[in-house]
Amino acid sequence: MNGSWFSSWRAALRISRREITRHRARNTLIVVMLGLPVFAAVAVDTLLTTGMKLTSAEVLDRTVGGTDAYIEMPQSNPIYQSLDAKPHIVPAPPTGAAAPVQPGVTPYATQIQNALPQASVLPVTESFGAFFHGPDGYANAQYWRTDVGDPRLSGAYDLLSGRRPASADEVDVSPAAAKALGASAGSTVTLAIQSAANGKSSSFTVVGIMQQPDDTNAAAIFGLTGAPAANGDFPEGWYIENPGGVSWSQVEALDGRGFPVVSREVLADPPAQSQDPYYAAAQLEPPGPVSSSAAAAAAVSAIVIGIALLEVVLLAGPAFAVSARRREREYAIIGAAGADDKQVRRIVLADGVMLGLVAGVLGTAVGLGTACAVLPFFARLTGKLPGAVHVSILQVLGVALLAVLLGLCSALQPARSVSRREIMATLSGRRAALAHKRRVGAVVRGVLMIVVGAFVEFSASHGTGALTQLGIVGGTALIEVGGILCTPAIVSLVAKLGGVLPLGPRLALRDCARNLGRTTPAVAAIFAAVAGAVAAGGYLQSSITQQRQAYQPFLLTNQIAMQVTGSAQATQVEQALRSIMPVTGSFVTESISGYQQSINAPDQWVLSVLTPGTSASCAKDSVSTVPKSSVEDFECGQYIEPFAANGELVGGAQVLTDVTGVKNDAADAMLDQGGIVLFDSASDFAGAVRDGHVSLVTVTDVPGKAGTDIQTVHQYSLPALVVSARGIPSPGAVISPAAAEQLGLVGRAQRTVLNVDMPGPVTADQQIAASQVAARFGISTGADVDQGLPDTSNVINLVVLAVALLLALAAAGIATGLALADGRADHETLSSVGSSPWTRRWLAGSTALVITGLGVLIGVPIGFLIAKGLLNVDTIGVSAANPVRFIVPWLNLGAMAVATPLLTALGAMLLSRSTGAASGRTS
C-alpha cells in the first residue's frame, strides 16, 4: 500500500508540474498569494534577529571593546552571575571576607584594584542631561568621560569621522548632538555653567564624530577622563586590561563584592554551568506560571495570525477552484481510466503542494533580500546598529513549508468537489447542484457560530484582562468564520431574487450561484475585509470621540510653561521669550504639595483629602521616626493629583483664572474667605465635602538621623468647594493663602513655574524656540505646551482601511478575472447570437459589482456587530457621565460599501476585452 501511495503522489506531482507551466498567469497569481505571508514572516524575522538579537561575540565587542573585561557598578550585596555577555544576576549569601565595602570607606576602583592587583583600570563616568552650547544650538546631552582616545575601546565607541580626543579640551560628538549643536570637526562646544561641577563653563574643540553602537540616536558628548566634570557625574563602569585576561576565579571574587563582570576569557572558554552557582540558585525557585496577560497576548496574536492566513486561503481558493473547474473533464477521464476518488484528490492537492513550494522559495528569497535592504532604515529607527545578517535555517524552512500548507488548504475544497463529481455527468457536460441538506447544515452551523461569537464578545465586558482580550478576538473569529459558512446560501438566495435586475447583473448572479466553489472564497475574503474596516472605523471613531470629551488639558492652548528656580530666573526667561515671540502676558505659580518633589528635597510632604470610609487611625496627629522617603508610601485618604503643569497651588481668584482660563464666582468667593477649591478631574471629592468643609491631612518628612526622617501627621478642617475640571487644566487644588498658612505650607514651595500667554495657540516653531531658551538657561524640564489629544486613530484607521481596500480589490479582481476565464464559452455564445461587443465589458463589470456587493451585504452588518462588541468591552471603567457612544464610520462605510464596488466594476469594464476570445483558444 505504501508503494501505491508513493506512486500515486509521484504521478500527481508530475502532472501538477506540467500544468504549472501551461497556465502561467493564473498560477503566478496563486504563487503571489501564497508567498505573501512567507515573505512577511521571513523579512520580519530576519530584521528582528539581525537588528535586535546579536550574537554573544557581537555583544562582547560592544561591551568590552578590545579590552579584557568590563565591570559594571556593584550591587549592594554579593551576587551570582550567568556566563553570557549580558550577565543575569541573583543575590548571593554574604561571605564575610568578600562582602562589598561601601564606597565611602573603600572606593570602588580600589576594591577592583585589590581583586586584580596587576590590572589597569579605565573608569567610565557619565552625566545625564548636561547642557552644551554649540555654534548653532543647544543640546541636553549624555556626557561620557573615559579614555575614548584609546583604540582598544573601538567596538564600544565607534569613530565615524575625524579622530579621537587626545587632550582634556577635545571631545567627539554623536551625530544627534552634532545636529542639535550645529557642530562639526573644528567647532567649539561649551559645557554650560549650569551643568559644570565646578560652577565654571568649559569649552571643547570637536575633533570627530563618534557613536555607541547600541545607542546611535542619542545626543552624546565623549571626552577623556581628565576632562572637566559635570553635575550629576556617576561611575558607569570600568574597562579592565589584565595580564592573561580575567579568569573565572577572579570573576567569582568580584561577584563576591557585588560587581557584575563581562570577561572576554570567560566568554571564550566558559566553565561548566555546574561550576557557576548562578544556575543552581536560579533553579531553587521553580519558574512561575505564565501570566494571564502574556497568555492572552499569545492567544490574541495566534488568532489574528490565523485570521490573516485564512484570508490568504480565501484569496487563493478561487484560483484553485477555477483550475479544478477547467480540468474537470481531464479528471473525469482519469477516473474513467481506473483512478479512485483519493487519486483524483491527490492530483488537485498536488497543485497546492507544487505552487506552495514555488511560493515558499520565492517568498523566502524576496523576504531575505528585502530585510537586508531595509536594515539601515531599521537601525535608524531603533537606534541600534545591526549585527551580521543572521538566518535560522530551521525557521526559514518552517516558514517556507507554511506556503505548502496554505496551498494544500486552498486546494482542499476544490479537491473534495472534484472527487465527488460523477464521471458520466462531467463527460456529458452536466453540472450537479450542491445538496440542499448539506447547504442547510452549513447555514445552521454558520448562524450558530455568529450567535456564539456575539455572545462571547459581548460577555467579555464582564471579564478581566486576559479573559476580555480572549473574548474580543475569539468572538470576532467565530463571527467571521460563521459568516463564511453562511456565504454560499446567501449567494444562492440573492441569485434567486435577481430576476428583476438587468441582463448583466442577472447573468453575473447566475454564474456566481452556479460556481459557488469559486465565488464563496472571493465573497468571504471581501466581506472579511469590509467587516474589519467597518469594525475598526466604528471602534476607533467612537473611542476617540469619547476621549475628546474626557480629555484633560495640561495647559491652556495659548500658554507656554517652564519650571524655573526662582523669581529672578523667571524674569530673565520671560525677557528672553519676549525678545523672540509675541508674549502677551505672564504669571508665576508655586506648587506647595507633593507634586514632583525631589528625593533630595530638604523636606517632603503630601496633602490628601479624607474621603468617606478613611480609617481614623491614619489621620491621627502624630510624630514618628521613619525610614527616609516614607512619605511616598504613606496612604491616608485621597491624594490630590494635579493634571496641569503647575501642580497644587497657593493663590486667590486671579491664580485660579490664570491657570484654568475660567472665571468661577463661587470658587473666587471660597478663596476670598480662606478656603480651598478642589477639582474633580481624577477623584470624587464631592462626598468628602460636608457642610461646606473638607478634612485634610498633611504628612511631612523632615531629615533626621542618617537613614531616617521625622514624620509628622496633622489633620485640618477647611471651607471647601468642588468644581468640575472637565475640559480645563486641573491643578488638583487651589489653596487660599490663609488656608496654606493654617496647613503649615507657607514658604515650602517645591516647584516654581513661569507661564507666558501667547495671542493664539502655541505653534510648533514657537515651542522649539521656547525649548532653546530653556536649554540656554539650563532648565532640564524644557518648555511645556499642551499638545492636545494625540489622535493616532486616524492614522491607524487609514492604514486598516487601505489594507482592507487592497484585499477587497484584490479579491474582486481575482474573482472577476477567473469568472471571465471560466465563462468563456458563455461569452462566445452571447457573441454568436448577436450581442454587442461591449457585452463582455458590461458582464465583467456586473460580475465585479455582484461579488463585491455580496461581500458588502454580509460584511457591513457583521462589522457593526463586531464594533459594538468592542465598544461594549471598552466601556469598562468609563464614567456614566461620559459614556462611549457608537459613531458611524462614514469614511469607512463609504469607502467599502460604495467606492469599492464601483471601483471594481469600473476597473473590470476598462480592463476587459470588448470582444471574446476565438473559439478553441486556451488561457
Backbone angles phi, psi at 668, to 5 degrees: -60, -40
Q: How far apart are CA 908 and CA 505, in angstroms?
A: 13
What are the DSSP E strand ranges found in 736-865? 751-757, 783-784
Q: What is the mean pLDDT of each run of 10 residues along the chain (923 residues)?
A: 65 78 76 83 83 82 90 87 86 60 63 89 87 86 90 89 93 94 92 83 94 91 92 86 91 90 90 85 58 49 63 75 71 70 80 87 89 86 83 80 84 73 58 55 81 79 62 77 83 79 79 77 82 82 78 86 86 91 88 61 76 76 75 72 77 88 89 89 71 85 75 87 84 88 74 89 84 78 78 69 77 72 65 69 82 86 81 55 73 85 84 54 37
Q: How far apart are CA 923 and CA 910, in angstroms?
A: 20
Calculate the alpha carbon distances from 123 to 72, 113, 184, 234, 241 in Å. Answer: 10, 12, 27, 10, 11
Q: How far apart are CA 837 and CA 88, in angstroms?
A: 76
Q: CA nearest 55: which of 377, 381, 389?
A: 389
- CB 529, CB 856: distance < 8 Å: no
Instruction: State the greatest distance between any 2 C-alpha atoms of the chain, in Å, as a whole number.
Output: 107
Find where cell 492614522 sits. 795
Q: Which residues pair with 586 in a beta bridge?
A: 756
Q: What is the DSSP string of 832-880?
A: HTT--TTHHHHHHHHHHHHHHHHHHHHHHHHHHHHHHHHHHHHTTT--T
Indicate the pairing of strand 188-191 with strand 120-134. antiparallel
Tell me the one-letter amino acid at 431: R
Q: Which residues of 642-677 are buried (b: 16+ CB within 10 A; e: fewer)?
A: bbbbbbbbbbebebbbbbbbeebeebbebbeebbbb
| Cβ partners under 8 Å of residue 707, min gap 6 | 627, 628
What does the angle CA 126 – CA 131 – CA 132 come to, to the nearest 5 degrees?
A: 100
Handedness of CA 376, 380, 386, 391 (dihedral sign): negative
All three cell numbers of 551, joined, read: 480629555
Q: How far apart are CA 202 and CA 143, in angstroms?
A: 13
Q: How far is CA 123 from the centre of its chain?
A: 37
pLDDT value at residue 281: 76
Find where cell 480592463 sits. 911
- CB 658, CB 734: distance < 8 Å: no
Q: Which residues pair with 833 in a beta bridge?
A: none
Mean pLDDT of all residues belonging to the chain: 79
- CB 822, CB 322: distance < 8 Å: yes
How many other CB atoms are found less than 10 A from the CB of residue 430? 10
Tell me the one-letter amino acid at 274: S
Q: How far apart are CA 488 and CA 499, in angstroms?
A: 19
Q: How many residues does this entry show for the chain?
A: 923
All three cell numbers of 62, joined, read: 560592544
Q: How far is CA 74 from the centre of its chain?
A: 34
How many other CB atoms are found less than 10 A from the CB of residue 567? 12
Q: Count Cα atoms within 13 angstroms, Cβ side, for 578.
A: 11
pLDDT, one tens digit per residue, over 546-600 is 777 777 788 888 999 998 888 888 999 999 999 999 999 888 887 776 655 655 5
- CB 487, CB 524: distance < 8 Å: yes
pLDDT value at residue 37: 82
pLDDT value at residue 248: 92
pTM for this model (two decimals): 0.65
All three cell numbers of 345, joined, read: 484528490
Q: Count Cα atoms within 13 angstroms, Cβ side, for 802.
A: 6
Cβ-in-10-Å burial (0-12, 13-18, 19+) of 381 comes to exposed
All three cell numbers of 217, joined, read: 540616536
Rounded to 10 deg, the angle between the 839-874 and 503-514 helix axes is 70
First to last CA, the chain: 38
Q: Which residues pair with 47 in a beta bridge?
A: none
- CB 421, CB 334: distance < 8 Å: no
